[in-house]
Every structure is written in structure tokens, then in C-alpha cells.
């Protein structure tokens, strides 16, 4: 049985003012209060609402993350936020290379690598996002694109960092579209990602560390599809957009992940076959 961390992370994207963030984070904290065997729950608000979210979850096991960060500590970089500024707020996690950053804000495999190095240097837990576009999938390029993104992100990263890094597979065509990647396919691609990591670190005998890396799926995750995902061997959790914006949709995802922590996650198919 896998002993990897199970994680449910809510990426709020460019939603939630401070007041709204306080309401949502407080509702999530209240919803899991007193629960055992919880997954790691991470709320990822926009920068301006990070502090409000942190205040709202104080005293709970919920962690707060940022959606992006610069790789430099400070300097004349108008509009950017540094790792030191995030640490100062009490941020624990940081998304790196989200497809919306890659698509709209010029994020490249190289800047993903620079951000990852900075996150590790500052002891922020990085969630590195990879995933193919619809065109790439339809051209049969899914595995090669994802493999390339993972290899570029991990360039010059020490093997010991594999105990900290989290990777999220978010196929671009499944984000915010309602088109979910089938759980079997997400599991397969995540398996490829794990194999890629093992391969990258085989020199020096560090392949086994790939087994430690929690792998998340993201793209139209909701209460209706989470159970099947949580029953898959390679899907250690979810990176959730739309369904993380309402406590009544996010909390069932946490509950489904709790079953994975308890080792009782089952797909409908599994449960039917046992009848």
C-alpha cells in the first residue's frame, strides 16, 4: 500500500476578494474540523487574499499556497512577488508552471525550472504543473510533451528534492471545460510521469525516490468524478479549480481523498465487482 501523501489543493485562480476568501476558507476549516485521516488540504488564493485565507485557517491543518512566484529574492521586477514575501505571509506551497501561466503569461520550461529551484531553496513545497494541449493530444504527443516538461522542470535538481516536490498533471483541454480526463488515462499519464522521474534519476541509483513523489490530477475534478480518481494507484490527489470555489463542492473532494488515506477508496466498478 502506498504511503505517499494524499493532497487536495484548491486553486482559486483570479477569484475571491479578501472577504470572500475569509468566508470560503472558514467554511472549509469548519467542514473538516475534528475529522481524522484527512488528506493534506491546500488552499491557493490569489496573492491579495493569501493573508485573509491564512488568518481564517489558523489552528486547523489546512495549508495555504500561492499560484506563482518570481525566482529572485527581490529587485526591480515590477508586478512580481518573491519567495521571501510568500514565506513572510506563512505560505507553504507554491504552484509552478500552471498551464494558464504557460499559455497567457510566457511561462516556459526554463522559467519553470528556475522557479522550482527557488522554491526548493526557500523550503516552499512546489506543485509543478504539466499537461498537453488538445492539439498535442490529438497529434499523439501527450506522453512526449509531458515527459519533456517534467525533464525540463527537474533539470539540475538534486535527488533529495524528490522527497518534497509534487507534480500535477493537468491536461489543458480538461481545465475549466467540464471535459474530464478519464481516470484510467490520468492514471496512465501519471504512471509515465513517475517512470520519467525514475529514469531521470537512475544515474546515482536514485530511481526509487520517484516512488515518493505525490502525483495529482487536475482538470474538471468535481464530486461526481473524484471517487473514481482517488481509487487509482497513481493518483495521489487533485488540483481543483472551479469546484474549489464553493465549500459545498470542495468538502466532498476532501472526504473522497480521506477514503484514500484510509485505504478504502473504491470505484463504483470495484464495488460492483465485489457484489
Torsion 86-47-229-251 (CA) sign = positive
Site for ligand 13P, residues 221 to 250, rule: CB under 6 A: 221, 239-243
User: In 169-267, which ranges are continuous DSSP H helix?
Assistant: 183-200, 223-230, 247-262
Closer by beta carbon to ligand 13P, 200 or else 253 = 253
Total residues interacting with ligand 13P, rule: CB under 6 A: 14
Which string of x and - marks every residue 162-201 that binds ligand 13P (by CB under 6 A)?
--------x----xx-------------------------
Task: Please identify which of the residues 40, 100, 132, 170 carries the catalytic annotation.
Answer: 170
What is the four-CA torsion angle of 240, 245, 246, 248, rounded to 10 degrees? 10
- Nearest one of 215, 221, 141 to 181, comparing CA atoms: 221
Q: Which of 39, 65, 218, 237 binds ligand 13P (CB under 6 A)?
A: 218
98 is a catalytic site residue: yes
Q: How far is the CB of 62 from ligand 13P (least distance, A)?
A: 17
Using CA atoms, how far residue 156 sits from 19, 92, 159, 213, 218, in Å, is 41, 23, 9, 17, 26
Which DSSP state fits 177? S
Q: How far is the CB of 230 from ligand 13P (least distance, A)?
A: 15
23 is a catalytic site residue: no
Region near ligand 13P per CB under 6 A, out of 137-145, 151-159, 212-220, 248-256: 212-220
Task: Supply 211's cell numbers.
Answer: 516512488
Active site residues: 98, 170
Amino acid at each position: 500500500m502506498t504511503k505517499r501523501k494524499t493532497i487536495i489543493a484548491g486553486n482559486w485562480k483570479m477569484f475571491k476578494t479578501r472577504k470572500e476568501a475569509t468566508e470560503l476558507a472558514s467554511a472549509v476549516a469548519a467542514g473538516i474540523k475534528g475529522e481524522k485521516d484527512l488528506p493534506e488540504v491546500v488552499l491557493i488564493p490569489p496573492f491579495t487574499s493569501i493573508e485573509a485565507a491564512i488568518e481564517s485557517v489558523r489552528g486547523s491543518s489546512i495549508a495555504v499556497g500561492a499560484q506563482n512566484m518570481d525566482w529572485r529574492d527581490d529587485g526591480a521586477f515590477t508586478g512580481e512577488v518573491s519567495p521571501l514575501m510568500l514565506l513572510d505571509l506563512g505560505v507553504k506551497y507554491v504552484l509552478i508552471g500552471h498551464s494558464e501561466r504557460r499559455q497567457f503569461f510566457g511561462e516556459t520550461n526554463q522559467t519553470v525550472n528556475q522557479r522550482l529551484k527557488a522554491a526548493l531553496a526557500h523550503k516552499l513545497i512546489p506543485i509543478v504543473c504539466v499537461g498537453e494541449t488538445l492539439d498535442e493530444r490529438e497529434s499523439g504527443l501527450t506522453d512526449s510533451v509531458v515527459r519533456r516538461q517534467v525533464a525540463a522542470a527537474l533539470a539540475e535538481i538534486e535527488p533529495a528534492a524528490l522527497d518534497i516536490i509534487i507534480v500535477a498533471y493537468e491536461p489543458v483541454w480538461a481545465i475549466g471545460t467540464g471535459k474530464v480526463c478519464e481516470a484510467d488515462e490520468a492514471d496512465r499519464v501519471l504512471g509515465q510521469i513517475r517512470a520519467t522521474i525514475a529514469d531521470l534519476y537512475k544515474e546515482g541509483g536514485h530511481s526509487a525516490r520517484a516512488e515518493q513523489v505525490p502525483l495529482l490530477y487536475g482538470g474538471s475534478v468535481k464530486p461526481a468524478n473524484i471517487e473514481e480518481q482517488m481509487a487509482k494507484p497513481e493518483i495521489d490527489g487533485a488540483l481543483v479549480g472551479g469546484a474549489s470555489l464553493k465549500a459545498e463542492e470542495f468538502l466532498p473532494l476532501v472526504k473522497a481523498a480521506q477514503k484514500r488515506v484510509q485505504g478504502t477508496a473504491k470505484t463504483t466498478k470495484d464495488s460492483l465487482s465485489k457484489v
